[in-house]
Every structure is written in C-alpha cells, then in structure tokens.
C-alpha cells in the first residue's frame, strides 16, 4: 500500500516525501543503546553528522537524553549543554538541512529551535507533561512535530488483541492536540513507536501493517534501527552491533508499505535498501500483497 507523496514543512524548509527519506540518528549521549558515548563530545558529534550527510541523510535527529529501556534521565541543563552547541554548529554549516531535536522537554525544545532546529521529535506524542508547551512552540515557530505512539497500557491488552486500532486512536489524539495548537497537517508526522510500551508480538504486528497508518493522513516515520525487536526475533543477534542486515530488511519492507521517513543509525546502507525497494515499487513489482 503506497501513500500519496506529501510535503513536510518545517520552518523555512520543506522536504518532498515522494521518495523515501533518511533521518540520521545523532546521539549526543553517554548511554544510548547502540552508540552511547561515541559522539558525546561536540567535535565527535560534528564528525559523525558530516559523515551521515555525505552518505545521504536528509534529516539529522539530535538527542541528548537516551530513551532506551532502563535509561536514567539527565538533568535538563545537561541535556541542553549537549545538544545546543551541536545544533548551532550544524545549522551554520548546513543551512539547508532540516535538523530535528529528540526531546520531550519544552525548555530543551525552545533552546534547540533557537539554535536552528526545524523539527520537534516527541516520544510522548504531545501527550506527556510538556506536550501542550511543545505544540505551542512548534505552532509559534513553524516547526514540524513527530508524534510518536507511547502508551504502556497497550501491553495490558489481551495477547491475541489487534494493537492497531488502539495505536491509531492514540495517534488521533496526538493529531487533535497538534491541530488545537494551530499546527497544520503538513507539519505533523506520525511514528508507531516500535519498541516503546509494546510486547514483541505487538511490535511485529505493527511492522507488518505499517501501511494502515496512512489512514491518519500524515507522513509516517519508522524508527526500528538495530532495536531489541530484532534481537527478540533473532536471538542469535545478541547485541545491537549484530543487527544491521535485519534493519535493512525492515527498511525495505517499510518502503513497500509507503513509509516515507526512516530513522536509522547506518545512513548509506539503509538509503540503498530504501532506494532498491522504491525502484521495485515504481516498476510495479509485488513480492508481498501490500
């Protein structure tokens, strides 16, 4: 199932989503599940960012607070000190490149926007304690927002229950909050939140039905790069470092379901997988009934 091409507007920039777009993950943290500590220093973060842009990243998603399972929250001031200098440097060096800030804290989001960010990536889908303030910030500045599904009560549903209706209903509430704040449809992206508050069976069910998220009428972002959902499905892949090939498979399958945005660690490899899947789609190839 292919979604119609869309345009994502983010402040003064716009991104045509008629072809798959890659969002490169830039973790300015010490404890992220895959690359924690590697890019904590601003100089190291900039080297990594340049490499991802050279490889074809359309967006860079900068985060200063890990949200992996079992993470410990860092003080707000520390999160700010991690992301602000990196965003300022990237905005100066790559003025035409959309920059995303991965945060759920309004003060961090405000500082990131002042430093040059264009997109607010909120793992709580505007339904967390700071959600209303984040929505207002985006509306006031023209920034785009990624609203991610993150409802831990989903785990309490019966094991054989279809998770998709609950996920759609939850995301519809996020979209209503965005609209109430004045955010137009071309500035909002939905993310099913793979790995957040879900059982393994629910994660897999959603990955197989990503195309149905297009019913929400917004671009879809998938963040599954090297996650534990892969390790649970393939127990021999014990660490995130082992999970590149299955990540590429999921990216290709997501493209075939019309997913427009792919949040990944390995930009070039995922871009190639996405382009190959898109070429097959354009040629009318069918290897799944989607």
- Catalytic sites, residue numbers: 227, 263
Question: In angstroms, rounded to a whole number, what is the distance separating the alpha carbons of residues 12 and 54?
Answer: 22
Q: Could you give the CA distance from residue 82 to residue 76 in angstroms, rounded to a whole number? A: 10
Distance from chain centroid for Cα 154: 20
Q: Which pairs count as long-range contacts for 223-227, CB under 8 Å and 24+ apart, including other chains? A: 223/148, 223/191, 223/193, 223/194, 223/195, 223/263, 224/194, 224/195, 224/250, 224/251, 224/254, 225/25, 225/34, 225/263, 225/264, 225/265, 225/266, 225/270, 226/33, 226/34, 226/265, 227/33, 227/194, 227/195
3-state class (DSSP) for residue 49: helix
* DSSP letter (8 states) at residue 144: E
3-state secondary structure (DSSP) of residue 121: strand
Taking alpha carbons only, the member of 206, 203, 207, 223 closest to residue 265 is 223
């Amino acid at each position: 199932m292919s979604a119609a091409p869309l345009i994502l507007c983010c402040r003064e920039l716009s991104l045509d989503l008629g072809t798959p777009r890659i969002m490169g993950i830039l973790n300015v943290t010490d404890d992220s599940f895959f690359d924690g500590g590697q890019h904590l220093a601003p100089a190291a973060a900039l080297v990594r960012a340049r490499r991802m842009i050279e490889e074809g990243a359309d967006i860079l998603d900068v985060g200063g607070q890990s949200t992996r399972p079992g993470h410990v929250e860092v003080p707000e001031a520390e999160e700010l000190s991690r992301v602000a200098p990196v965003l300022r440097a990237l905005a100066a060096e790559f003025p035409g490149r959309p920059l995303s800030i991965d945060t759920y804290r309004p003060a961090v989001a405000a500082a990131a926007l002042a430093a040059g960010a264009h997109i607010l990536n909120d793992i709580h889908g505007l339904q967390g304690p700071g959600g209303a303030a984040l929505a207002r910030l985006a509306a006031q500045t023209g920034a785009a927002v990624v609203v991610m599904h993150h409802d831990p009560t989903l785990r309490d549903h019966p094991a054989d229950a279809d998770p998709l209706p609950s996920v759609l209903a939850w995301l519809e509430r996020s979209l209503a909050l965005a609209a109430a704040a004045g955010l137009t449809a071309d500035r909002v992206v939905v993310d099913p939140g793979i790995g957040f508050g879900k059982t393994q069976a629910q994660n897999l069910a959603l990955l197989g039905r990503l195309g149905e998220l297009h019913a929400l009428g917004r671009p879809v972002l998938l963040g599954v790069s090297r996650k534990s959902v892969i390790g649970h499905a393939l127990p021999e892949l014990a660490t995130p470092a082992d999970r590149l090939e299955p990540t590429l498979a999921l990216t290709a399958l997501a493209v075939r379901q019309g997913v427009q945005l792919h949040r990944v660690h390995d930009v070039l490899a995922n871009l190639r997988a996405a382009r190959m899947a898109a070429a097959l789609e354009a040629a009318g190839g069918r290897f799944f009934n989607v």
